[in-house]
Structure formats: C-alpha cells, structure tokens
Chains A and B, each alone.
Chain A
Amino acid sequence: MKNMKFSPTRLSAKVSAALAMSALIPVLAQAQTPTLSNPTVSAILDGYYQSENRLMAERTEGFGLGETELAFSASIDDMFYGKLTTVFETHDGESEVNIEEAFIQTMALPNGFTVRAGRFLSDIGYLNNQHLHSDSFTSRPSAYRAFLGGHYFDDGLRVSYIAPTDLYWTMGAEVFSGDSLRAADEHGERKFDRTGVYTAFTKFGGDIGVESSWQLGFSYLRNENGLLTPEEHDEHGEGDHEDEHAEDEHGHSHSASYTGKNTYVADFVFKWAPNGNYKYQHLTLSAEYFRVSDFMVPELHDEHEEEDHHDEDEHAEGNSKDYHQAWYVSGVYQFSPNWSAGLRYGELDSQLQHEEHFDAQELKETELSIAWHNSHFSTVRLEFSHQSNVGFDNDLSDNAITLQYVMALGAHGAHQF
C-alpha cells in the first residue's frame, strides 16, 4: 500500500523551483479578503453483488462493497483549495482505509496556471481524473485495470495551464512517486527510482452548435520503474511465477498489472443532448487508446527477437509484440431522468513474460449496463459483461452479472465533463 511520503526534497530541482515560485506568488498578489471557508462533506456508498470474478477487477464474486468514500473539501483561503478523500474497501473479509486524495491546489495563480500538490488522480486519459462513482459501468475498462491499476492516483505535483482561447486548450505536467506503477519485483532486490513517474498531457475541446460538445486529449506517461525486472532463471521456478501472476489477476491491488517505460494515451469524448438540455436525454460517446512500450530489459529483448524469427515457421503463439495496447469505445444514453443504458467494448492486447520469452495475451470485453436513477444522487445498476481471453491463466467464466448501487450523501460536488 501507499504511504504518504510526498517530500519536496525528492523532487527534481526544477520542480522545487516551481514549487518555490508558487509560494512566492501570494506575497506579490493583491491583498484581498479571505473568503469564508465552506467545507463540503460528502460520502459515497457503493455496494454490489457479482456473479463471477473478472480479470484484474476490483469487484469480486459475491456480495461486496465497492469504493465507499468520504470526502472533505474546502477553500482553505483565497489562495488554496484542499481536498481529502478516504476510501474504505473490503477484500476477503479484510477492511482497508486508504487515502485516495489529499491535495492542495492553488486557486489564484495568474495567467491560467494551477499547481496541485499531494496525493491526487493523474490527469492522463479521459476517465482517470474522474471518480469511480461517476462511471457508467461497474468497472473501469481493461486498459485502466491493466495499465493503471484501475485508476492512477499518487503522491506528486502537477502544474497545469489553460490557454485564454475560445477553443478549450489545457496542458500540464506531473511528477509522481510512481510506487503503484512499479514493475513486478518478486525478490524485492531491485532499486527503484523514488520519483518514478512523469506525465505530460494536453486536452482540447469545444462545442458544435448548441447540442454537441467534444474533448480530445493526448497524454504521455514515462515510468522510470516500468521496465521489467530481469529474471534469474535458476532461482525462478514455473510454479512461483504462476502464483505471482495469479495474484496480479485476482487479488486486490491498486498496482498496474502491466508496466512499461513509455505509455501513450489518446482519448476522445463526445456528448450530445437535444437543445443542449441535459435534464431529459443525453448521449455520451467516449473512446480511449493506450499503448505501453519498452518493458523488456535489453537481454530479454534480444532473445525475444530471436525467438520471433525462430517461431515464424513453427506456431503463432510466440508471435508476441514488443508493446501492450488496449482500447475501448463506450456509448451511454440517458433515456429519461430515471433511466440510462450503456454499451462498452474493449480489447487488451498484452505480453506476458514467461521465462525468457513472452506469450501474447488477448482479452475482449463487452459490457451492457442499465441504470435506474431515482435522483441525481442515487443509482442502481445492472450490468452484464462478457469476456473472452487468450493466454490468461484462469478459470473465469465468460459471463458475469453485476448488480450495484452507488449513492451520494451530503453536499455532492460538481462533476467533470
């Protein structure tokens, strides 16, 4: 699990400089009366029943609690905003309390700059900075489960900028400790970079007439600890490997199942409502593409290439690629204030390290969800999911049914686009 160890000294000198800048600015800013802080307290209750286990999923078979969260947020003064989100999770009878967000954010930097520090959700991709309770499906797409451990939050620092243009254009960069995105290290001997993850992202968006809106984003994530750990062949038996991997697949973990040095993400969202009125009907289409590359250590890479040539004549199974990729497309339509339905299809194309070579894996998932909303604050959802896979070590059934409720108590904050 994560521990809170955000320490500026660990950050690179350049970022420390930026941090120092943000501390200077309030001194120079015009004096103004501090606004009264108005703390917002909200809780999310999420419970479910699921008929089967699913690959890399947080929800497990049977009854369970999803992300049950308690959040506090407020303007601290005229300069800072703060938020604390604690998440209660139960897995195999064990309860955990995790801190998902604990950050401060500047509210008064000039010229469209914002600095956020502490623990927060990374702004890469479309879904990642959204809270799980606002999702239209019971689980994140396989791309998120495989590469980001469901959703990626971490201790670090973000600087973002929004351009003063009619076309929405924002960009930003983040540095994180990157603990949850470290490559597997079963012997615990590897020396990892303590500041392991750097991201850069940009998003564009606008309206098409009164009825339609769109957003397009590109992100890059560099993971200094993403390269696989070289394996010591004699020490490492087949059995160990399978056990460890099995835990990755079924066990509860916020860590990414597949890591690599470079991750590229492209995301697109389109929303439509008749007359632009979201009260009764609206449609949300979204799609994201993830590509994770450079995960092989050089010696493995060579062997892998050799094997590829060697395998060409024999069988197709060894024909693995030197990158992982995943994508999904999703459409959600709200028919009436009380009912909505969503359909999502996604594929994951990953390479599993197996001694000296890599085996190609493929996971295809289709989800159909139907939700009933008594108000904006209560949702009951029924989801059917079908998955088919090649190369995953599991006895999971192809179909799963999930019944879930998600409800918000207290002052519930505004949602993102």
Chain B
Amino acid sequence: MLWLWGLTVHINFKLLVSGVLLSLSQQAFAQVNIFACEPEYAALAEELAPEARIYSATTAMQDPHLVQARPSLIAKMRQADLVICAGAELEIGWLPMLQMKAANAQVRSTDKGLFFAAEHVDTLDKMANVDRSMGDVHSLGNPHLHFSPERMLLIAKALTKKLVQLDIEQTEAYQQRLQSFSKRWQAASSKWHEMASQLKGMKVIAYHSSFRYLFDFVGIEQVADLEPKPGLPPTSTHLASLLKRAKQDDISAIVVASYQDLRGANWLAEKSSLPVIVLPLSVGGNEQSNDLFSLYDNVLDLLIQEYNAQKLLTL
C-alpha cells in the first residue's frame, strides 16, 4: 500500500508542477521516436525523417498479420511519438493489444501520433460484406499498399503532414525531405513503369494477395492463389486444382513472398515445371532490398529475369 501511495504522489507532482508544459516539452526537445508496424514504413520514415529514432516492429521475413504483442514491442510503443502502420485492419490481431498495454495516449488516435497509411489512399478490393467463411479478408480493402508507387507518394505527403503536426519546429526540414523524396521517387517511378511494360500480360500463381498492388501497377495477372482462402495455408486438394490450372500453359511463374512457406509452391513447381520466384515482401526481404528504391528495383528485376527466361524457352 505504501507503494500505491507513492504512485499517487508521483501523479500529483507531475500534474501540479508540469501539467501542460510537460506535453509541450516532450515534443519540442526530444528526437522524434517512430514505431513502424512494417519495414516499408520504417523505410519511408527513414526517407522523410532520417534523424528520428525509427524502429520496425516486423521484418520482411514475418507475416504482418500474425505478430505477437510481445514485451519488446510494448516497450517500444510506450516510448513512441509516432506509430506508422498500414492500417485497413492488417494489424488488427496485435496493434490494439500493444496500444492497450503501452499506455501511451499519444499514439492511440490518428488525431495525434497514430498514422494509418490506408486512410490516405484508395485501397483495392474493398468489400461490402465480409464473412469469416471467406477467410482473412479485410472489408477496408487490401492493406499491402507499399508496391504502388503512386500510393506511396500520397502516403509520403500525408506522413510529412503528420510529422509537421508533431514536430512543428522542423517544418522546413520535413518539407525539404519530402521534396527531395518526391523528386527521386517520381524519377524512379517512370523508370519502374518502363520496366513494368516488359511484364505486361504476365500471368502468375501467387501466395496470398501480398503483391496485389505490384501486379496492379505492373499489369501482371494473378490467375490463382496458393491459399484456398485468404490466410489459410495451401491444402493438397487446392494444390491439385492449381496444377490443373497450370496445365493450361499460360502461366509464367509461381510468386511467393519472402516470409511465406515454400512447400506448396515447390510441390506445384515440380509438378508443373513452373519456376518459383521469391520476392522480398518488403525492405530487408533479401540482400538487394535495402530501401524502398532498391526494393522496387529488385522486385522488378526478379520478375523480368524470370519472364524473359520463360519467353526464351517458349521460342
């Protein structure tokens, strides 16, 4: 009980002495502390606020749907000034628990230090009626936004606004960073669109809808999914039906993300003699993908290499 009394004294002290001052001072002098749910948003933060302390809760080798609300993440969120997540319910299985346990009011509301990328762009595949029998689908649309160059630029702009809101004194620096990023991104985007034109019409079987936006922007058609339903692992009956589909001979490759299990893909590849392409899900998904730019470069390179090899074979 003595201990409890100590607590109340502590709150009292903070209230009386600091009150409003406290919340101001915390933001003005400290380095901005950023917690990113996924590595692509840590990478974006790195571009827009390189002097911030940035932590990514997940790696490109991890399924962002299934993350443990583990102690280290709670501790990091406790200290965060800004939390950047994909949103659209991607993190529904762990983010609310982290927020609850971290007791950090600053990052509970998007009015303050919480930023959901999906709120600033149009998502694909929104659904009016979502039912669990459909698997792990999100009514707010596909949350794996980061392979859409146009959307990432919009997100960068919105994120800069958020950074300015939280750290108003550095407004100019943030604006400059955004300007520089936009310039480089737009230049890279036109290069990527050019690369993408080589891939137009490519048909693939992929695992989950992880690359929905990539395929959308590049013009690749995902004709089938290794998952029988979103979130459910491949079953043998489903794989058998995919093999049947593969025999139509119009498919160029099986695409799997860096965190996904290869067993189903390898089985199908062996039976159908289709190549398997493992694409980095995000920054850090392979050696070449060190930032957003090299991630896009690498993903497009991998696809083009395989597609060209396939075309040579059929000639």
Question: A residues touching B (Cβ–Cβ < 8 Å)?
Answer: 12, 14-15, 17-18, 21, 24-25, 28, 30, 32-33, 35, 78, 81, 105, 107-114, 159-170, 173, 198, 200, 203-207, 210, 213-215, 271, 275-280, 336-338, 374-377, 409, 413-417
Contact = CB atoms under 8 A, between A and B. Distances in A.
B187 interface: no
| Tier of interface size on chain B | 35 or more
Contact of B63 (A81, A170, A279, A338): A279
A351 B255 CA distance: 62
A108 B102 CA distance: 11
A414 B93 contact: yes
A337 B230 CA distance: 13
B97 A416 contact: yes
B168 interface: no
A206 B61 contact: no
Given A159-B7, A277-B61, A376-B93, 19 more contacts: A15-B4, A25-B15, A32-B112, A112-B104, A113-B103, A159-B4, A161-B103, A162-B103, A165-B75, A166-B75, A166-B79, A168-B74, A200-B3, A206-B75, A207-B71, A213-B70, A276-B62, A277-B66, A416-B97
Contacts of B94: 414
Contact of A276 (B23, B61, B100, B112): B61
22 contacts: A14-B5, A18-B4, A18-B11, A33-B111, A35-B111, A111-B11, A112-B78, A162-B74, A162-B75, A164-B78, A167-B75, A173-B4, A200-B3, A206-B72, A213-B71, A214-B71, A215-B71, A277-B61, A277-B259, A337-B232, A415-B97, A416-B101
Contacts of A271: 68, 70
B231 interface: yes
Interface in B72-118: 72, 74-76, 78-79, 92-97, 100-105, 108-109, 111-112
B129 interface: no
A267 B270 CA distance: 47
B12 interface: yes
A168 B96 contact: no
Nearest to B23: A30
A404 to B, nearest CB: 20
Contact of B78 (A162, A337, A338): A162
The 5 closest A-B pairs by CB, nearest first: A205-B71, A168-B71, A414-B97, A279-B63, A108-B105
Interface of B: 1, 3-5, 7-8, 11-12, 14-15, 19-20, 22-23, 58-59, 61-63, 65-72, 74-76, 78-79, 92-97, 100-105, 108-109, 111-112, 132, 135-136, 231-233, 259-261
B112 to A, nearest CB: 7
A203 B261 contact: no
B68 A417 contact: yes
B248 to A, nearest CB: 29
Contact of A32 (B75, B79, B103, B111): B111
Contact of A280 (B3, B109, B135, B261): B261
Contacts of B74: 162, 168, 170, 205
Contacts of B260: 279
A409 B108 CA distance: 26
Given A14-B5, A167-B75, A200-B3, A275 B103 contact: no
A28 B8 contact: no
Contacts of A12: 1
A107 B100 CA distance: 7
B109 A32 contact: yes
Contacts of B79: 164-166
Contacts of A114: 103
A278 B66 contact: yes
Contacts of A278: 62-63, 66-68
A9 B145 CA distance: 53
A405 to B, nearest CB: 16
Contact of A205 (B22, B70, B233): B70
A275 B261 contact: no
A169 B67 contact: no
A24 B19 CA distance: 12
B96 A417 contact: no
Nearest to A375: B232
B240 to A, nearest CB: 18
A109 B12 CA distance: 12
